[in-house]
Amino acid sequence: MDRLTGEPDLAADLAQEAFVKLYHRGSFPDRPEAWLVTVALNQLRNVKSSSRRRVRLLTPSRAEGVHSDPPPAPDQVAEAEASRGRVRAAIDRLPERERELLLLSAEGYSYRDIAATLALNEASVGVFLSRARTAFRELYAGDPSASH
């Protein structure tokens, strides 16, 4: 296979796939060596056919027709960076427990998981989260009375 492909990694992958197919087959063919070579050669043909099709389909003229969102304008990038910086600064100024509550909540943890992680009563997680969100909003908005 290595000589046929000219790519040792591809040859190894094809051989491995052939053995996996033999394993999934559940029984040995009459001539396992011939069966493995035939399967590997068929896989090589499929790879080459896919490569040719991919090259044919991925031409520059076809790429021009692909529609996607344009990249953001430089002022939008700068604004997003500034906003991320303000979020980070506000989070960093929160007390540790409030910071952890907000981050765990943002990651999608349930109240039960947050309570277990932070050694809190599950019934009080909602109240603590509400307070943490309020403190974050005040810090994000730059309210000087929100310093902790």
For 73-102, what is each residue's pLDDT tens digit? 999 999 999 988 899 899 999 999 999 999
Considering only 33-42, 81-90, 133-142, which range has the smallest mean pLDDT? 33-42
Res. 8 pLDDT band, cuts 50 70 90? confident
CA 37, 40, 46, 48 dihedral sign is: negative
Q: Average model confidence (pLDDT) for the chain?
A: 83
Residue ranges of alpha helices (H) inside 26-59 are 32-57
The yes-or-no verdict on residue 33 having pLDDT over 50 is yes
* Range list of H helices, the chain: 2-5, 8-25, 32-57, 60-64, 74-93, 96-106, 111-118, 125-141
The pLDDT value recorded for residue 145 is 46
Cβ-contact 93, 102 below 8 angstroms = no
Domain 74-146 belongs in CATH node 1.10.10.10? yes
Q: What is the pLDDT of residue 4?
A: 61
* pLDDT per residue as tens digits for the range 123-136: 999 999 999 999 99
Joined together, the tokens standing for residue 78 give 């700068």
Residue-range domain boundaries for the chain: 2-64, 74-146
d(CA 38, CA 125): 62
d(CA 37, CA 64): 41
Of the chain, the percentage scoring pLDDT greater than 90 comes to 29
pLDDT given for residue 132 in this prediction? 96
pLDDT at 72: 85
Residue 127 tokens, joined: 């109240």
* Burial tier of 99 (Cβ tally within 10 Å: 0-12, 13-18, 19+): middle
